[in-house]
Structure 1
Amino acid sequence: MRHLYRCPLRWSDMDAYGHVNNAVFIRYLEEARINFLFRPDKEFKQGSVVARHEIDYKRQLVHRHHPVDIELWVSEIRAASFTITYEVKDDDLVYVRASTVVVPFDFEAQRPRRITAEERAFLEEYTDEADEEAVAA
């Protein structure tokens, strides 16, 4: 299963050519990730930090008044980190493909922590394997 976030575009996102500035895409990914991880029904209650981003810019996104879709899913789950993969797109037109390595973090102890069983179960719902199982069923 994939999570969908409809990201609004803002005037301040534009560069001098009327395109969304490449640096702004980091903020878009952050908004989508927060929307995914911190929901009332399921969330990473102890928090998390970003360890790494990788971004492939595919084409320019021209500023407009309607949102752009950000689909995200979990592509890897390890003992103390997981990777979120994203596509920023309109239907079949992809502007950005990206991934973020996220580390669960205990802010009171000021150190990384392991993923809990509850968090792992939540993340597994959004893996490619979960998509394949749903198609096979």
Structure 2
Amino acid sequence: MRHLYRCPLRWADMDAYGHVNNVVFLRYLEEARIDFLFRPEKDFKQGSVVARHEIDYKRQLVHRQTPVDIELWVTEIRAASFTLSYEVKDGDLVYVRAATVIVPFDFEAQRPRRITAEERAFLLEYTDDAGADAGAEEEAVAA
């Protein structure tokens, strides 16, 4: 299953060339990620941090009044991290493909923490790949 976020475009998102600036796409991904992770019924209350972004720009997105769709899903779950993948798109027209590695984080102890059983169950609902949880087993054996 994939999570869908309808992201509004802002006039200030454009650059001198008249299209959405490349850096702004990271803000769009952040908005989609927050919408996904911090819903009232499912929440990473214990905290998390971004460890890595990877982004591929496929085509220009020009400012308009209508929002752009961001589809988000889980592609990997490990013992102490998970990866979200995204497509910023209109129907079949893809502007950006991206991925973000998220590390659950204990802000009081100032260190990474393991994913809880509840968080893992939630993330598993949004995997497109049945093997997404395999990395956690390998990591648990190595620990």
Task: Name the TM tier (shorter chain).
Answer: over 0.9
Percent identity over paired residues: 88
- The answer to whether the 8 A contact 2:80-2:115 is kept is yes
- In the TM superposition, residue 77 of structure 1 has moved relative to its aligned partner by 0.1
Indicate the residue corresponding to 1:88 in structure 2: 88
- In the TM superposition, residue 6 of structure 1 has moved relative to its aligned partner by 0.3
- In the TM superposition, residue 61 of structure 1 has moved relative to its aligned partner by 0.2
The one-character-per-residue Cα deviations of 1:35-86 (angstroms, maximum 9, x if unpaired) are: 0000000110111000000000000001001100000000000000000000
Tell me, in whole angstroms, the C-alpha distance in 1 between the residues paired with 2:7 and 2:54: 19
Indicate the residue corresponding to 1:98 in structure 2: 98
- In the TM superposition, residue 18 of structure 1 has moved relative to its aligned partner by 1.5
- 2:26 paired with 1:26: yes
Amino acid at match of 1:66: T
Aligned residues: 130
- Provide TM-score, normalisation by structure 1: 0.93
Indicate the residue corresponding to 2:55 in structure 1: 55
Indicate the residue corresponding to 1:134 in structure 2: none
Q: Which moved more, 1:121-130 or 1:57-66?
A: 121-130
Amino acid at match of 1:120: R
- Provide TM-score, normalisation by structure 2: 0.89
- Unaligned runs of 5+ residues in structure 2 are 131-143
Paired residue secondary structure (2:43) = coil
- The answer to whether the 8 A contact 2:106-2:112 is kept is yes
- The answer to whether the 8 A contact 2:53-2:98 is kept is yes
Amino acid at match of 1:96: V
The two structures, once aligned, show a CA RMSD in angstroms of 0.8
Tell me, in whole angstroms, the C-alpha distance in 2 between the residues paired with 1:128 and 1:30: 20
- Unaligned runs of 5+ residues in structure 1 are 131-137
